[in-house]
Amino acid sequence: MSKVDTAWLRLDTEANRMVIHGVLLLKPTIALEDLRRRVAERLLRFPRFRQRVVETGDSAWWVEDAEVDIARHVVPETLPRRRGRPLEGALQDRLAELAAEPLDPSRPLWQLHLIEHYDGSSALIARVHHCIADGIALIAVLLSITDGGAVPPAQAAAPKKTPAGKAAKAAKAKAGSVASAEDAEPEWLADAMVKPIHAWTVREIQERAGSDRSGAAAASPAERLGRQVLEDAAALTEAPDDAKTRLKGKAGRAKRVAWGAPLALDAVKAVGKSMNVSVNDVLLSCVAGAIGLYLRGHGDDTEGQEIRALVPVNLRPLETAWQLGNRFGMVPLPMPVGITNPVKRLYAVHAQTQALKNSLQPALSLGLMATSGTVEKAAQRAMLKTLSRKATALMTHVPGPAQTLRLCDSAVERVMFWAPQAGDMSLGISILTYAGQVQFGLIADAGLCPDPQAIVAHFEPEFQHLLTLALMLPWETKD
């Protein structure tokens, strides 16, 4: 297992399981046996979904499972009906329960729960451990199992041998042959574990430094490189702890899940165009506004306050996403929750995202994550504790397919997903664009944020404020 993926494997805690959760709503209903057949035909072509994890000391190995039992991985669900609780609430409750449960470590680390009859539709809950893949890669998996989806390309490279030694022998003796062909350590990561940044990271940094024109004319590329590395490394490691709000504290096991009605992507694009900012800026501003309203609604003074969200940045070509694994860095994004004026807040967010665009922090953080996969678990947990003090939320924004997908002859009407939080971070914020819509959702620590639906409820009104202002601006017209 690559060192980055090993790091995600070992981040599992009782409070925060490193499992990505997703929900697909399908109409009309689909049958359990049809789904099992599709999964066996398509999903198991990805080696990771046929393999389980064996840990030996501080190393982890992907091992072929002798017999993947589809019936154990694709299971039926029936939602309990509670008096006064709508069916959507029952689905949110079940997802929150699953988010607190670990996946079975003796089997491949994924599971699908099918609710065949959900208000005239079917609801599919997907659970995939983060060590298998990141969000971008899992979108590629989703595309592959839909009707007409492309299967992963054949592995053309010759199998590479895993490192010989006692650990490999122990894993083989315990669980059969170690899966090593397509799972060998990527070349750019293979010999990088003794440094906080590896060779691939250095190349990424050098390319950016070579194209940088912001430094003094007399500064050499090496000098600019060194200066930016030091500045961005300090921003990652020396930032003060995040603001003390009711959302910051010791995380517990229990979770809460919430989501709202989707926004029209065209409307979001129109606001971005009229305000000369990106779609991402518009959505992040609405998230910051919703959290600020939630805090003030609970009596908190947010004037001049920011909270940080860790935002993943993809660091791989999208055409290789089917290879799975984790290839992203993280950047801390300040969220101006204390700015009540929606336009001022939008441009404050825009300024922050612009400052991070040319940052080396994503590449540096990937290198640091790789390094954390080589140290003892206690040392990694200490690094995690330090990191989680610097942020309140993990926020993901993943672009999904532009067209409506079909699965087993049913339309995939909505797609939602949540990445896990790490350490004591209390909020997992999810933004997904799919089929012309933008879906916003939250997974929250039940003790620190017992009512995440109250945050979600503010998201759409915050967007409507910006949309109203955008419509008041002069629009370009053609003669």
Contact call for residues 286 and 270 (beta carbons, < 8 A): no
Considering the domain architecture, whether residues 169 and 252 belong to the same structural domain is answered as: no
Model confidence at 213, pLDDT cuts 50, 70, 90, reads very low
Give 3-state DSSP helix, strand, coil % of the chain, rounded to 5: 40, 20, 40
Domain membership flag for residue 257 = yes
Considering the domain architecture, whether residues 178 and 256 belong to the same structural domain is answered as: no
CATH of the domain at 47: 3.30.559.10
Q: What domain range includes position 428?
A: 242-472
Size of the chain, expressed as the number of residues it contains: 479
Q: Which residue has the higher pLDDT, 182 or 51?
A: 51
CATH of the domain at 293: 3.30.559.30
* Whether the predicted pLDDT of 143 surpasses 50: yes
Lowest-pLDDT range of 13-17, 106-110, 336-340, 449-453:
13-17
Considering the domain architecture, whether residues 246 and 314 belong to the same structural domain is answered as: yes
pLDDT at 100: 94
Domain membership flag for residue 131 = yes
pLDDT digits (tens, 9 = 90+) for 270-328: 999 999 999 999 999 999 999 999 999 999 999 999 999 988 776 666 667 667 877 76
Model confidence at 258, pLDDT cuts 50, 70, 90, reads very high
Considering the domain architecture, whether residues 293 and 417 belong to the same structural domain is answered as: yes
pLDDT at 181: 34
Considering the domain architecture, whether residues 160 and 252 belong to the same structural domain is answered as: no
Q: Kindly give, in sequence order, each residue whose CB lies less than 8 Å from that of residue 292, ignoring residues fewer than 6 positions away.
A: 302, 336, 337, 338, 339, 340
Tokens of 64: 């072929």
Considering the domain architecture, whether residues 295 and 419 belong to the same structural domain is answered as: yes
Model confidence at 13, pLDDT cuts 50, 70, 90, reads confident
Q: Which residue has the higher pLDDT, 357 or 263?
A: 263
Q: Which residue has the higher pLDDT, 240 or 242?
A: 242
Lookup result for tokens 């590329």: 221
Q: Structurally, how many domains does the chain consist of?
A: 2
Q: Model pTM? A: 0.80
pLDDT at 292: 98
Domain membership flag for residue 235 = no
Domain membership flag for residue 219 = no
pLDDT at 404: 95
Considering the domain architecture, whether residues 71 and 163 belong to the same structural domain is answered as: yes
Beta bridge partners of 59: 56
Tokens of 386: 């330090």
Considering the domain architecture, whether residues 173 and 271 belong to the same structural domain is answered as: no
Domain membership flag for residue 214 = no
* Whether the predicted pLDDT of 195 surpasses 60: no
Domain membership flag for residue 205 = no
Domain membership flag for residue 123 = yes
Tokens of 367: 């290198």
Report angle CA 271, 307, 8 to the nearest 5 degrees: 100
* Whether the predicted pLDDT of 188 surpasses 50: no
- The sign of the dihedral angle between the CA atoms of 22, 28, 32, 38 is negative
* Domain final position from 183, 214, 233: 183
Considering the domain architecture, whether residues 344 and 422 belong to the same structural domain is answered as: yes
pLDDT at 332: 80
> How is the beta sheet containing 74-76 ordered, strand by strand?
74-76, 110-118, 121-129, 19-27, 410-418, 406-407
Q: Kindly give, in sequence order, each residue whose CB lies less than 8 Å from that of residue 16, ignoring residues fewer than 6 positions away.
A: 251, 420, 421, 422, 423, 425
Give me the mean pLDDT over the 445-466 stretch: 96
